[in-house]
């Protein structure tokens, strides 16, 4: 870059010197012509009329016009030269900044490696060295002393490891030093790239053979070209490398967390060997020594790995930075830059065409169901009117014993089911599950219910409702929640099997479930629930049976919802409702606003259905 600047300054000095020489030559030549023609001024050879105000004015105007034309051409050329140099300097500045950022980044990483990461590992290794020396100092002929040493060392060494050394080793790695350093490296280079102007003038044609010059310049989206050609690829490669190092750090953290288990297992194994009838002190010494040496060797392996990774990071970041710098070279040449600009325009055109294709396809996809619906409706209408016409005219066949055929079909199906082996009949019953081995596809819902229950126990207002079609597994999910989530709490279950719409019919359900004295109203019921000795979980099934589709058929349901809200601190309410009834209540009452969690049991996928069938089939043998 410095050499280029020196060459440019030298060329500018040469141009300035040549301009002065040329101006001096023109000036002397003009003076000579003036002196030569001065003697003929006013004669017939050089009449005075040519030097009047009007001719001189015309000459001046012509010269001024000619000057402005040439001035514009030169201004256009020099503007291109200036922008071209700015373009070169800005890109070369990014190249220089990338190299400087790489050096600073590597120095920062090595400082962190030597000052923060490696010292805790060396301290831990020194502890293992001291422990090994302490055990080696005990003779094999002293089994009792050796046993006491194992007990004390097991307790003290494990305490040191778990409280001090393991956290000290893991703490700098949990912040992933490679990722933090590389992200800083990426951010600093990105800042330099973002400082580029959006567009830059470059020479499409540089002409100095004609005077004035006939140069042509063109606007080029320099930042977009750099981002598309080099920056995106550079960032993608660096992020992929960071993902690899992140996985490696996770493995190291896992190995570190197992160091105390290695020590504990080997020391306990040595202690157990001393408790046998035939005392084998030599074997116990070997077990202790090998266990501690194995743990120490792991720590040494970590340190060696860090040094190796430091070299690997240096090499990888250097390769990325060097490749980035080299690819910027293609943007320094105006010809290459114009070719890349043309390629960019062509790529944008292709992307625009693909976008329009995608939009058109989305429109067609949305239109097809609508058109298909109209076609189906038209076919249905034609079929309906055709059947009516056949029935009116008497062309249709007389209605047969359709009802009898349906009964016959159901009867034969029942006989086939009864003919299945007994174990199949037991495994494929249409009833809620009780065996967790056969529960499939509802793990996410149970996790949500567990989180909601924990939130309620923490004091948050929480009521949950499970909705789904008949046979979707609402009762099954509630049964497993009762067994695995609410097992440490009193659980009451209320099932509204029949439709009730008055407090008189509602109160006995609640009274029997909570074992209350006879409350006379919902208000008395609320007071009794607020005075419960222990917080309670109440599962209420079939919410849809608490209303009628009439003008005043929602009074009981509204009172029940008010009861849920007022007693939520003492009772954790879990409600179930059929899907279609819930949708109806949502349109009429906006019922969802009264519940903090709505769990919808959707249909199971094909893989889940296959798993349900095959699990039961395998159980049959």
Average pLDDT on 525-533 reads 90
Domain residue spans in the chain?
Answer: 2-51, 90-332, 436-619
**Position 253 pLDDT exceeds 50:** yes
411 by DSSP, 3-state: which?
helix
pLDDT for res 350: 66
Q: Which two tokens stand for residue 501?
A: 């719409």
**Position 398 pLDDT exceeds 70:** no
pLDDT for res 325: 81
Local confidence band at 116 (pLDDT 50, 70, 90 cut-offs): confident
Q: Among the listed ranges 85-99, 137-151, 168-182, 599-613, which one has the minimum average pLDDT value?
A: 137-151
pLDDT for res 51: 63
CATH level 3 topology of 436-619: Rossmann fold (3.40.50)
Token match 């014993």: residue? Answer: 401
What distance in Å separates the CA atoms of residue 204 and residue 84, rounded to the nearest whole number? 11
What distance in Å separates the CA atoms of residue 264 and residue 270, rounded to the nearest whole number? 10
Local confidence band at 598 (pLDDT 50, 70, 90 cut-offs): very high
| Stronger pLDDT, 499 or 92, i.e. the higher one | 499
398 by DSSP, 3-state: which?
coil
What distance in Å separates the CA atoms of residue 342 and residue 225, rounded to the nearest whole number? 10
Average pLDDT on 177-183 reads 77
Dihedral sign from CA coordinates of 165, 170, 175, 177: positive
Give 128: exposed, middle or buried? Use CB within 10 Å, 0-12, 13-18, 19+: buried
Q: pLDDT for 533-571, tens place per residue?
A: 899 999 999 999 998 887 778 889 999 999 999 999 999
| Stronger pLDDT, 605 or 206, i.e. the higher one | 605
pLDDT for res 543: 92
Within 10 angstroms of residue 104's Cβ, the number of other Cβ atoms is 13
**Position 318 pLDDT exceeds 90:** no
Local confidence band at 576 (pLDDT 50, 70, 90 cut-offs): very high
What distance in Å separates the CA atoms of residue 263 and residue 290, rounded to the nearest whole number? 10
Q: Which two tokens stand for residue 209?
A: 């053979």
Q: pLDDT for 283-313, tens place per residue?
A: 777 777 777 888 888 888 888 888 888 888 8
pLDDT for res 264: 73
Q: What would you report as the CA-atom Rg of the chain, rounded to the nearest whole angstrom?
A: 45
Q: pLDDT for 483-515, tens place per residue?
A: 999 998 999 999 998 898 888 889 999 999 999
Local confidence band at 140 (pLDDT 50, 70, 90 cut-offs): low
**What SS3 string covers 145-201?**
HHHHHHHHHHHHHHHHHHHHHHHHHHHHHHCCHHHHHHHHHHHHHHHHHHCCCCCEE
Which residues are CB-contacts of 82 (< 8 A; sequence separation ≥ 6)? none
Average pLDDT on 427-432 reads 72
The strand pairing partners of 220, in sequence order, are: 200
pLDDT for res 308: 85
**Position 143 pLDDT exceeds 60:** yes
Q: Give strand ranges (E) for 214-352.
A: 216-220
| Stronger pLDDT, 217 or 106, i.e. the higher one | 106
pLDDT for res 207: 65
H-run or E-run covering 564: helix 555-566
Euclidean distance between the first and final Cα of the chain, in Å?
A: 80
pLDDT-above-70 percentage for the chain: 83
Q: Which of 362-376, 394-408, 589-603 has the highest mean pLDDT?
A: 589-603
Average pLDDT on 226-249 reads 81
Q: Among the listed ranges 397-411, 460-474, 564-578, which one has the minimum average pLDDT value?
A: 397-411
**Position 226 pLDDT exceeds 50:** yes
What distance in Å separates the CA atoms of residue 373 and residue 123, rounded to the nearest whole number? 75
What distance in Å separates the CA atoms of residue 353 and residue 262, rounded to the nearest whole number? 62
Pairing mode, strands 464-468 and 597-600: parallel
Angle, helices 259-275/232-257, rounded to nearest 10 degrees: 20
pLDDT for res 238: 83
Q: Among the listed ranges 67-71, 343-347, 355-359, which one has the minimum average pLDDT value?
A: 343-347
481 by DSSP, 3-state: which?
helix
Cα→Cα distances 486→467, 479, 537, 602, Å: 20, 10, 7, 23
120, 218 Cβ separation under 8 angstroms? no
Mean pLDDT, the chain, rounded, equals 80
What distance in Å separates the CA atoms of residue 103 and residue 97, rounded to the nearest whole number? 10
Query: What is the pTM for the complete model shown?
Result: 0.45
Q: Which of 320-334, 368-382, 405-419 has the highest mean pLDDT?
A: 368-382
pLDDT for res 477: 92
Number of alpha carbons in the 13 Å side-chain half-sphere of residue 229: 24
H-run or E-run covering 449: helix 443-457
Q: pLDDT for 51-87, tens place per residue?
A: 667 777 787 888 788 778 777 777 767 776 777 777 6
Closest by CA to 579, choosing from 599, 564, 550, 608, is 599
140, 285 Cβ separation under 8 angstroms? yes
Local confidence band at 621 (pLDDT 50, 70, 90 cut-offs): very low
**Position 22 pLDDT exceeds 70:** yes
């Amino acid at each position: 870059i410095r050499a280029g600047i020196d060459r440019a300054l030298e060329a500018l000095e040469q141009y300035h010197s040549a301009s002065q020489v040329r101006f001096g030559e023109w000036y002397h030549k003009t003076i000579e012509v003036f002196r030569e023609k001065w003697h003929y001024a006013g004669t017939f050879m050089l009449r005075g009329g040519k030097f009047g105000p009007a001719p001189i004015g015309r000459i001046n105007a012509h010269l001024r016009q000619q000057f402005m034309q040439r001035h514009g051409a030169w201004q256009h050329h020099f503007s291109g030269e200036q922008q071209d140099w700015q373009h070169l300097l800005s890109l070369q500045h990014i190249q220089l900044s990338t190299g400087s950022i790489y050096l600073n980044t590597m120095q920062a990483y090595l400082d962190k490696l030597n000052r923060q990461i490696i010292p805790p590992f060396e301290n831990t290794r020194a502890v293992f060295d001291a422990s090994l020396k302490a055990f080696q100092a005990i003779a094999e002929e002293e089994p009792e002393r050796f046993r006491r040493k194992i007990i004390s060392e097991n307790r003290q060494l494990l305490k040191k490891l778990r409280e001090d050394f393991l956290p000290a080793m893991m703490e700098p790695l949990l912040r992933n030093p490679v990722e933090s350093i590389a992200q800083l490296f990426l951010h600093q280079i990105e800042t330099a790239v973002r400082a580029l102007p959006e567009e830059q003038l470059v020479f499409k044609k540089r002409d100095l053979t004609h005077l004035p010059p006939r140069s042509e310049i063109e606007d080029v989206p320099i930042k977009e070209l750099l981002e598309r050609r080099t920056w995106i690829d550079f960032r993608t490669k660096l992020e992929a490398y960071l993902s690899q190092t992140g996985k490696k750090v996770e493995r190291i953290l896992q190995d570190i967390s197992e160091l105390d288990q290695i020590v504990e297992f080997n020391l306990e194994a040595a202690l157990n060997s001393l408790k046998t009838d035939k005392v084998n002190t030599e074997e116990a010494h070997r077990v202790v020594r090998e266990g501690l040496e194995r743990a120490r060797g792991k720590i040494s392996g970590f340190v060696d790995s860090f040094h190796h990774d430091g070299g690997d990071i240096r090499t990888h970041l250097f390769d990325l930075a060097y490749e980035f710098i080299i690819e910027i070279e293609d943007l320094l040449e105006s010809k290459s830059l114009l070719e890349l600009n043309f390629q960019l325009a062509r790529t944008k055109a292709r992307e625009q065409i693909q976008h329009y294709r995608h939009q058109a396809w989305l429109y067609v996809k949305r239109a097809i169901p609508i058109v298909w619906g109209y076609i189906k409706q038209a076919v249905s209408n034609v079929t309906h009117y055709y059947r009516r016409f056949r029935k009116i005219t008497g062309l249709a066949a007389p209605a047969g014993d359709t009802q009898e055929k349906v009964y016959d079909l159901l009867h034969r199906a029942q006989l086939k089911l009864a003919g299945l082996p007994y174990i199949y009949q037991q495994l494929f019953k249409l009833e809620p599950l009780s065996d967790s081995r056969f529960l499939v596809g509802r793990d996410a819902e149970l996790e949500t219910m567990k989180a909601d229950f924990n939130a309620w126990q923490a004091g948050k207002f929480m009521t949950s409702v499970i909705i789904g079609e008949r046979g979707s597994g609402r009762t099954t999910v509630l049964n497993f929640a009762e067994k695995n989530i609410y097992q440490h709490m009193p659980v009451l279950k209320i099932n509204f099997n029949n439709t009730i719409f008055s407090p008189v019919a509602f109160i006995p359900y609640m009274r029997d479930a909570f074992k209350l004295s006879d409350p006379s109203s919902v208000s008395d019921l609320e007071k009794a629930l607020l005075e419960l000795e222990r917080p309670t979980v109440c599962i209420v099934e079939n919410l849809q049976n608490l209303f009628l589709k009439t003008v005043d058929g929602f009074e009981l349901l509204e009172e029940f919802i008010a009861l849920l809200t007022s007693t939520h601190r003492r009772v954790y309410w879990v409600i179930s409702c059929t899907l279609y009834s819930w949708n109806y209540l949502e349109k009429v009452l906006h019922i969802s606003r009264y519940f903090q969690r709505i769990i919808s049991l959707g249909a199971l996928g094909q893989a889940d259905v296959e798993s349900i069938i095959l699990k039961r089939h395998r159980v049959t043998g």
